[in-house]
Structure 1
Amino acid sequence: MPRRDFLSYGRQVYFEPPGERSWLPWSGADDAQAFDSMRQVVEQFRTGGMTFFERMAQPLAFVDEYKDLPLDIPYTHEVSRVGCSLLCAGGVTGGRVYIERAVAAFQQDGAKFRADGTPDKDNWPERYAADLSTLLAAIDNGTHLDLLDRWYRESLATFKLTEG
């Protein structure tokens, strides 16, 4: 793939620690700038991104990192992830609170999409709310860990991260 096609996507890389977004702009105008930009990206990932992923290897570490975010938009994805992480770690009551908040926020966002005339097939917030509502029902009948495991395995297959 030509350098300019790869580096022109957005022309920026960002790393997003909880509650803040820091931008690292890069240039791909010529080979020297492209190589220097990629060096910066790799170094930023090595010193920031990789250490973050290592810390987040356990569900409760993820919860500790994100639990104090506001429980609404624009942090709805993180809120739902905190809820799922708590569920995986055995915190059903706490996990449910986060999942319920995420459902409400996704429904609110979905209503905005509908009001703006977004076709149903493109209204991803409503699909997320429906999935999380399914998770709430699974919590009620004690099958939430099975559902989370199924979603995990489906994700691995979708992203081709498993053999077969």
Structure 2
Amino acid sequence: MTNRNTEVSLRKGNINDADAVLELQKEVLSESEFMISVIEEYEETSEQIRNWIEKILENEREKLIVAESKGKIVGLIVFRSNRAKRVSHTGSFTAMVKNDYRNQGIGKLLIKELLNWAEQNPLIEKVSLGVLSTNQRAIGLYKSMGFIEEGRKIKEVKFRDDLYVDDILMYKLV
């Protein structure tokens, strides 16, 4: 599919994507002010990412979708379900897009693809996410896609002694 000025294709992630996923995660963590983790504390290895992807692929309640441009992974979305039986119909997602590919609608494509999968999956009824209150662009995107704020974790993220940010919890029933 063509997305604005970028040719992008979406596909199910697989264990062969481990190195590219690791690279993407490191790049996004090192450049984004909207992530909770920072690059200095990220210690994942290719083997750990491979195992993580394998666990996702084995679980029918979980999904990894990658966005590719020119044969390279430029974004991803991962949906992880809750393990406890009484909340196993729910889960949350995390999305990442490389800096050079942001603001081109790739995140929206990934979310649409995830929601389509969730709507077709009889085991999933609720898709959730957390977003920092300072990430107004993402909040606008989520609201435009039907996500509703269900709560806030006040002063959940501390950037420095005088700067705290709320974590906004959002959901969509599918």
Q: Normalising by structure 1, what TM-score? A: 0.29
Question: What TM-score does the superposition give when structure 2 sets the normalisation length?
Answer: 0.28
Point out the structure with max Rg over C-alpha.
1
- Which gives a bigger RCO, structure 1 or 2 (Cα 8 Å, sep 6+)? 2
More strand, by proportion: 2
